[in-house]
Amino acid sequence: MLRQLLHDEAGFIVSAELILVATLLVIGLIVGLSEVQHSVVAELNDVGDAIGNLNQSYYFSGFSKSKRGGGGHGGRFAAYTRGSSFTDTQDECDNNQCDIDCDRPVNEGPKRGGGGHGR
């Protein structure tokens, strides 16, 4: 049985080299995924800029239809609607005018004495 165990080559030996290679692969994967995240955020920022550049201003005039024989004067309308307009102005964050800012780092407060009872 011992002879069979010594000649068995079907197992996997964990060695320092394999641990090093696995560690490097995991670190590379983390760095790669971080770069993918930054690229996706940059592309979504471009999409937001494109939407911010759309001019959504509009204008339409009103119209009216007078009743027969009324001539349209004196408030005798069959149908009437007013016009409307909207002027699109630049929003605060259109075209990268604002950034998502983080707060400044805050120093840690002084440690309290005692056995962690929160005095």
Going from the C-alpha of 92 to that of each of 21, 99, 104, the distances in angstroms are: 49, 10, 22
Q: What pLDDT does 25 receive?
A: 94
Q: What pLDDT does 119 receive?
A: 46
Q: What pLDDT does 100 receive?
A: 60
For the chain, what are the domain ranges? 17-54, 55-97
Residue located via tokens 């120093």 = 107
Give the residue ranges of the chain where pLDDT is below 50.
119
| Per-residue model confidence as pLDDT tens digits over 58-86 | 888 988 888 876 555 556 788 888 888 98
Question: How far, in Å, CA of 19 to CA of 16, rounded?
Answer: 5
Contact partners, residue 49, CB within 8 Å, separation at least 6: 94, 95, 96
